[in-house]
Amino acid sequence: MKLKYLALSVCAAAFISCNSDKPVAADPTLKNILGDKFLVGVAINSEQAAGRDTSAVDVVRRHFNSIVAENCMKSEVIHPEKDRYDFSLADEFVKFGEDNGMFIIGHCLVWHSQLSPWFCVDTEGKNVSPEILKERLKSHIHTIVGRYKGRIKGWDVVNEAIEGDGSYRKSKFYEILGEEYIPLAFQYAHEADPEAELYYNDYGMHEPGRRDAVVRMVNSLKEKGLRIDAIGMQGHMGLDYPSIGEYETSLLAFASTGAKVMITEWDMSALPTVNRGANIADKVAFEKALNPYPEALPDSVSNLWNARMKSFMELFIKHSDVITRVTAWGVSDGDSWKNDWPVPGRREYPLLFDRNYQPKPFLKEILEPRVAKFYEFSYSIDNSMQRDSAANCQLSTVNCQLQNPVLPGCYPDPSICRVGNDYYMVNSSFAFYPGVPIWHSTDLTNWEQLGYVLNRPSQLPMYDGLRISGGIYAPDIKYNPHNGLFYLITTAVDGGGNFFVTTDDPKKGNWSDPTFLPEVGGIDPGFLFDEDGKAYIVNNDGPAGKPEYDGHRAIWIREFDWKNGCTVGKQKMIIDGGVDKTQHPSWIEGPHLYHINGTYYLMAAEGGTGPNHSEVIFTSASPFGPFKPCAINPILTQRGLPGDRPNPVTCVGHADLVETPDGDWYAVFLGVRPYRNGHDVMGRETFMLPVTWKENQPIILPEGDVITYTADRSCDPAPLWTANGLAKEAFFIRTPLVPRYNINSKGQLEMTASSTDLNQKRQPAAIGRWINNWTFTAQTGLDFVPQQPKDFAGIICFHDDNCYIRFGKTLDKDGKPVMLLETYSHGRLCSQAGSPLTRTDGKVYLKVEGDNAVNYTFCYSTSPKGNWTQVGEPVSADLISTQTAGGFTGTMVGIYATGNYTN
């Protein structure tokens, strides 16, 4: 998995070249760093265009290569009376752009607001006729565009014509001409300057109603043969709107029209949205609520604002193939139209530069990045350190040969299928990216990771705020012999619901983009491609009526039309509660439907994914039931066994079945290996057992039998990356909008330190792999020069945003270099230990070792020969165990870098 290096400023050659290991000289300005991706624009006012606001002019000239007129070309300014134009301010604006070699945008030709009062009415104030308005519109556009023909390169032709619900805005233009005024405006603009680019511009473009209406309108203009070059998405944002996902959905929808996309009028309010009616009776209280930060933003608000602005800038860079311009709506906070509105004295902080014309922290991260160079990262297991866990394998010889767990580490919810001699297996991946690890075997014993199914951001847009135990649950992989395609269906919990992807060959690593199935509710969908060419989806969801008890769930079925990629017909509930509803069975989930020798078998997990987890099975003569519990249930569980049994495997369930070419059957399922008092750090792992058939039903393990695991395998040092790219097992925390690393020709990984830290529920600069044994060693070499105390680079052991350990190089409060070890649990700093360094620069070596008692020891060395210095006391893994932290994942070990870019 080798990802193109698109780190914000590193790739743009601000300080580190993508093709060289040496620093290169470059002017760190926005237009130099981002100008090869899109135009970097700003709206300027008349004082700035005239050169009187010298501080703002310096910023504009230095950082921007495109300008747009803020107000001087709006109707009420440039055409104040029927027979009089005033071009004085517009001429100054255009001359400023030409003198500075900028791409000039005219804003705007047709807008219902700031419209000259005379434009649409007669001398008596009544609407003019359609013919008169057409003539006025044509004359207005021809005169203005014609004056600046060849000088202004692009025009916002029509502004804000669509309402949020998708209807046309009831402006004077619409009242008189209907929707015809829009194509007329584009026609007249093209006539006036056939070479100028023409745009439609609107706000709230993340709203589905407006999005769909704009797409229809643009397609209609194109069908009429009219020119429209780009759609302007006004970027007026707030701290709580829009979401990255909503904005990206609209961006891609607009790009699908064939028009380019421009981010226009970008600003983000840092103030809370206030209900005007809340304190309106108390004028003083109301105005105070609207102006909560009259002096400066609190750090907490500033940090949130910068994080969101950074995420959106990264989104724009990610889609620079379709975005041609990003324009800030003002130079500095002092210039914003949001100041003094809706009450005098209101002080806003929405723009890229502050009132002192200094770049905000998210811009400093682009302009002056800090880079951590990691020389290598290896992960290994020494078998001589293993605890005595394989001495008494209590199952069959076959079971011992399976080397359980077959997939050690956090690889839960396995699903398996076979085609010929090839077996394919997939697992849940939650909020980590890439998603859904996929494995291949020809003997059920030796498994090779092929990579990931969801290996493109377009397949897995998991962005800000998604909890680590959200994301991808319980994928199901099946082969459809009727069209030769493999299907994977899964649930994006908190992220879109149920969807499927397809491929003709899993070994190619090129699965389709998702097809979502909004009509399929709940979680854990699974496919059956039946012998007669029909197909079905089974899934977990709520019962038909009101749940009768906590954990009351049901299994549903509906037909799937694989020829058209959609469901058909109505869904039907086929399991209500579980095997015996009178016993209040909980959390029936993870269903798989099989058609074996004329009988339909429905297998599902019951009891929740904890110690009471089990697997149960039902039969029917029809896929739509009725389904009856088999005579022997459960067919797999470890509940009820002595808690003090040696080397326990717990929580087993969520199974899937596969038949070998010889007619033998096996089951894969999840299990947990607790090490002490129920604590585990590896999460749910994949186990496998042979299946026996008794009384015409499969049995994975007779109830009361004990599952054990083997531990007689070592792991030679495995790199997390090589010069050819990341290892197949490597992953990130959530989906990076832009990757923040580069692997140079020497195999060194250069990571741009992100202002996003591990506890912010975003996408930190971190790469890792799963810990898959209690005893292990992870080691790396690091070259990093911290500049402020919160700059930090090193090793992490990460369970989730609230529970993790970090060990690395930073500065102490006095600005002196130190190796620092910190542990966090439930969002609180639990412990801290440091060891001073003699110099800020220079290479250091770091390692973490897990021992037989499941404690983690952190050491560093300044010598490649490894004269190790331990920092702090060994850390108990209990701190980041599932029992302590909660959730469904194991522990990620890897590298990470964060930077403090505040002034």
pLDDT digits (tens, 9 = 90+) for 749-780: 999 999 999 999 999 999 999 999 999 999 99
Query: Which has the closest alpha carbon to 886: 771, 769, 802?
Result: 802
Q: In angstroms, how far is CA 474 from the centroid of its own chain?
A: 19
Q: DSSP 3-state assignment of 569? A: strand
Q: Is the pLDDT of residue 268 over 70?
A: yes
pLDDT of residue 712: 56
Q: Is the pLDDT of residue 1 over 90?
A: no
Rounded distance between C-alpha atoms, residue 92 and residue 493, angstroms = 54
The count of other CB atoms within 10 Å of the CB of residue 581 is 15
pLDDT of residue 14: 33
Q: Is the pLDDT of residue 747 over 80?
A: yes
Given the residues 70, 160, 348, 729, select the one marked as catalytic. Answer: 160
For residue 105, give both structure tokens.
Answer: 């945008």
Q: Quick one: average pLDDT of 711-727?
A: 84
Rounded distance between C-alpha atoms, residue 154 and residue 52, angstroms = 26
pLDDT of residue 352: 98
Q: How confident is the model at residue 655 (pLDDT cuts 50, 70, 90)?
A: very high
- 21 against 629, higher pLDDT: 629
Q: Quick one: average pLDDT of 509-535?
A: 97
Rounded distance between C-alpha atoms, residue 544 and residue 453, angstroms = 33
pTM for this prediction = 0.91
Rounded distance between C-alpha atoms, residue 554 and residue 587, angstroms = 8
What angle separates helix 181-192 from helix 130-147, to the nearest 10 degrees? 30
Strands 715-719 and 697-699: unpaired
Tell me the backbone φ, ψ of residue 120, rounded to 5 degrees: -110, 5
Q: DSSP 3-state assignment of 718? A: strand
Q: How confident is the model at residue 283 (pLDDT cuts 50, 70, 90)?
A: low
Which residues, listed in sequence order, are joined to residue 576 by a DSSP beta bridge?
554
Average pLDDT along the chain:
93
Query: Which has the closest alpha carbon to 882: 446, 205, 412?
Result: 412
pLDDT of residue 391: 36
Q: Is the pLDDT of residue 746 over 50?
A: yes
Rounded distance between C-alpha atoms, residue 733 and residue 893, angstroms = 11
Of the chain, the end-to-end C-alpha distance in Å amounts to 37
pLDDT of residue 93: 98
Rounded distance between C-alpha atoms, residue 271 and residue 339, angstroms = 11
Bond into 518 cis (ω within 30): no
DSSP class of residue 336 equals -
Bond into 108 cis (ω within 30): yes
Rounded distance between C-alpha atoms, residue 492 and residue 214, angstroms = 28
pLDDT of residue 650: 97
Q: What percent of the chain has pLDDT over 70?
A: 93
Q: How confident is the model at residue 26 (pLDDT cuts 50, 70, 90)?
A: low
Rounded distance between C-alpha atoms, residue 629 and residue 586, angstroms = 16
Q: Is residue 365 annotated as part of the catalytic site, yes or no?
A: no
pLDDT of residue 11: 41
Rounded distance between C-alpha atoms, residue 766 and residue 565, angstroms = 36
Q: Tens of pLDDT along 232-256?
A: 999 999 999 999 999 999 999 999 9
Q: Is the pLDDT of residue 402 over 90?
A: no
Secondary structure of 369-383 in HEC code, one letter for each residue: CCEEEEEEEEEEECH
Q: Tens of pLDDT along 566-608?
A: 999 999 999 999 999 999 999 999 999 999 999 999 999 999 9
Instruction: Write the single-letter amino acid at 733.
Output: I
Q: How confident is the model at residue 274 (pLDDT cuts 50, 70, 90)?
A: low
Rounded distance between C-alpha atoms, residue 50 and residue 72, angstroms = 12
Q: Tens of pLDDT along 33-81?
A: 999 999 999 999 999 999 999 999 999 999 999 999 999 999 999 999 9
For residue 316, give both structure tokens.
Answer: 């724009």
Q: Tens of pLDDT along 419-461?
A: 999 999 999 999 999 999 999 999 999 999 999 999 999 999 9
Asked if 424 contacts 477 with a C-beta cutoff of 8 angstroms, the reply is: yes
Q: Is the pLDDT of residue 737 over 60?
A: yes
For residue 825, give both structure tokens.
Answer: 């649990």
Q: Which helix (H) or strand (E) holds 604?
A: strand 599-606
pLDDT of residue 388: 45
Given the residues 70, 197, 207, 265, select the one marked as catalytic. Answer: 265
pLDDT of residue 170: 97
Q: Is the pLDDT of residue 276 over 50?
A: no
Q: What percent of the chain has pLDDT over 90?
A: 88
Asked if 160 contacts 169 with a C-beta cutoff of 8 angstroms, the reply is: yes
- 713 against 883, higher pLDDT: 883
Q: How confident is the model at residue 710 (pLDDT cuts 50, 70, 90)?
A: confident
Instruction: Write the single-letter amino acid at 599.
Output: T
Q: Which helix (H) or strand (E) holds 820?
A: strand 817-825
Q: Is residue 47 annotated as part of the catalytic site, yes or no?
A: no
Q: Quick one: average pLDDT of 856-868?
A: 93
Q: Is the pLDDT of residue 802 over 70?
A: yes
Q: Let me know the angle formed at the C-alpha of 359 by 354 and 362, rounded to the nearest 5 degrees.
A: 110
Q: Tens of pLDDT along 200-243?
A: 999 999 999 999 999 999 999 999 999 999 999 999 999 999 99
What angle separates helix 244-255 from helix 208-223, to the nearest 10 degrees? 10
Q: Is the pLDDT of residue 109 over 80?
A: yes
Q: How confident is the model at residue 899 (pLDDT cuts 50, 70, 90)?
A: very high
Q: How many residues belong to the chain?
A: 903
Tokens 């949020």 correspond to 164
Strands 650-659 and 665-672: antiparallel
Q: How confident is the model at residue 3 (pLDDT cuts 50, 70, 90)?
A: very low
The count of other CB atoms within 10 Å of the CB of residue 791 is 21
Query: Which DSSP string corresponds to 414-459?
Result: -EEEEETTEEEEE---BTEESEEEEEEESSSS--EEEEEEE-SGGG
